[in-house]
Structure 1
Amino acid sequence: MGLVLVAMAAFYAAGLHRSVSLDAVIAHHERLEAAVSAHFAATAAAYFALYALAVAVSFPGASLVTIVGGFLFGPLVGTLLTAVAATLGAGVVFLAARTTLGGILRQRAGRFAARFADGFAANAFSYLLFLRLVPLFPFWLVNVAPALFDVKLRTYIAATAIGILPGTLAYTLVGDGLGGLIEAQEMANPGCAAARTCQIEPGALLTPGLVLAIAALSLAALLPVLVKRLRQRR
């Protein structure tokens, strides 16, 4: 746990959390694309390591980093790199939360944690899968909560790896289309990328279809839990 705390402190002390922004990506998109073309393996490895670190230190801008991954590596490679790195980083947080700090968190969590406990007791895999699919729950919270209630590591890894795929693919596809948006902005306002005046809002990158697809998958993941509860009542 100490290593995670040290990494978290170093990450924020170095100001890396301020370096990741949509404006920065747009401003340096040509350099980023050139680096990927010239050194694909090295840039992919760097992206993988940075993403895993970002998840381990609970960086709140992981969705934006996922978009960058789609922009740089395309939907297939970008989704693969991001999903594996996110699962690895989440696993580090999970293992860290199973230390003595986890017991302290459980005692202080109160009724909120008890609600999580009921879900994990009913069907740990399906419940965790639902929590991963639903975007209403913070990613860092879902990383920690299962560790407080003795969810098995293999269940945690499997549900995490599967559950983050739809959202990861959605954001990666958004990133894959970012290049076209930048090009359109440059045509309308030449030089706006370097000047950081391109008008591309993060919310405009998401389509209703992607959001509805994630919601549908979330409901599907919850069905086993609902069926089990109905059987228990009968």
Structure 2
Amino acid sequence: MPQTPDPRPASGILAKVPILLILCVAALGAFTLRDHLSFEALARHRETLIGWRDAHFVLTALGFGLAYAAIVALSLPGATIATLTGGFLFGVFPGVLFNVTAATVGAVGIFLAARSGFGARFAAQMQERGGQVARLQAGLRDNELSVLFLMRLVPVVPFVLANLIPAFLGVRLSRFALTTFLGIIPGALVFTSIGAGLSEVFARGETPDLSVIFAPHILGPILGLAALAALPILLKRYRSLP
């Protein structure tokens, strides 16, 4: 009697398709979309975008949110320009809400793709093998909320990697989504406010000064939030000392 083929390898391959597709699109987009998702492109099409917003506000907001989420989920260039566009079209509020929501949806998308493709198996293998990665995994689990929040507040880790690393280390979806949404609010608020003032920048024929985020009155509160997020980690380590 012929044996029935084992379906598990096929399902394993299918699970990897989304993240592999994302990686291919990201590589292609890095070379083909850079000029189309730029400040210059926004300046060229600003009148068209404003016309669409004024005539079809809800559709424009939905289209913008989907486009922003796709940029993040597919790791395409232009996330900063998308944030500026949100402020330019919708003002500081609801622009910042649209920006944060769309970025979080996109981040959750790539997180789920990575976890289903490689992350779940990788996390289980690292836990079984032990070693440095397993210790990192355990340390992250002990301080999950604080570490994830810090990764968003202080972007030492690039945004794309901050979406992938938690998936590979077995972070829970609910905590990933919560810390992403809350952690990107300060930076998104700064860039959305810059976008809200782009009309004057366009009128002068200039480009926005994105280095404003490093100004003491802006960077200081963000670092203060980062210190608060790190406090539980420091307290746990202090209590564990002999």
Report TM bin, short chain: 0.7 to 0.9
TM-score (norm 1): 0.82
Structure 1 unmatched runs, 5+: 186-197
| Amino acid corresponding to residue 197 of structure 2 in structure 1 | G
Give the aligned partner of residue 161 of structure 1: 181
- Correspondence list, 1:59-98, <5 A: 59-98=76-115
Question: Which residue number in structure 2 is paired with residue 135 of structure 1?
Answer: 155
Give the aligned residue type for 1:56. A
Q: Mark the CA change 1:123 to 1:45 in structure 2 (over 3 Å): closer, same or farther.
A: same
Q: Which residue of 1 aligns with 2:164?
A: 144
Contact (CA 8 Å) 2:99, 2:188: kept in 1 or not?
yes
Consecutive unaligned residues of structure 2, counting only runs of 5 or more, are 1-15
Secondary structure class of the residue paired with 1:99: helix
TM-score, normalized by length of structure 2?
A: 0.79
Q: Aligned residue for 1:203?
A: 210
Q: How far off is 1:104 after superposition?
A: 5.4
Question: 1:140-179 CA distances to partner (integer Å, 9 max, x unpaired)?
Answer: 1111111122211111111111111111111111111112
Of all paired residues, the percent bearing the same amino acid is: 35
- Relative distance call for 1:60 and 1:202 in structure 2 (3 A) is farther
1:34 maps to which residue? 51
Provide the alpha-carbon RMSD of the alignment.
2.6
Tell me if 1:231 matches 2:235.
no
Aligned equivalents of 2:211 and 2:59: distance in 1? 31
Runs of at least 4 residues of structure 1 off by over 6 A? Answer: none
Match of 1:52 in 2: 69
1:172 aligns with 2:192: yes
Shift of the 201–154 alpha-carbon distance from structure 1 to 2, 3 Å rule, reads closer
Corresponding residue SS for 2:238: helix
TM-superposed CA distance for 1:207, in Å, is: 6.1
Residue equivalent to 1:220: 228
Alpha-carbon shift at residue 4 of structure 1 (Å) = 4.6
- Superposition deviation, residue 224 in structure 1: 1.3
Q: Larger Rg: 1 or 2?
A: 2
Q: Distance in 1 between matches of 2:211 and 2:168?
A: 37
Say how many residue pairs are matched: 219
Q: CA deviation at 1:100?
A: 4.4
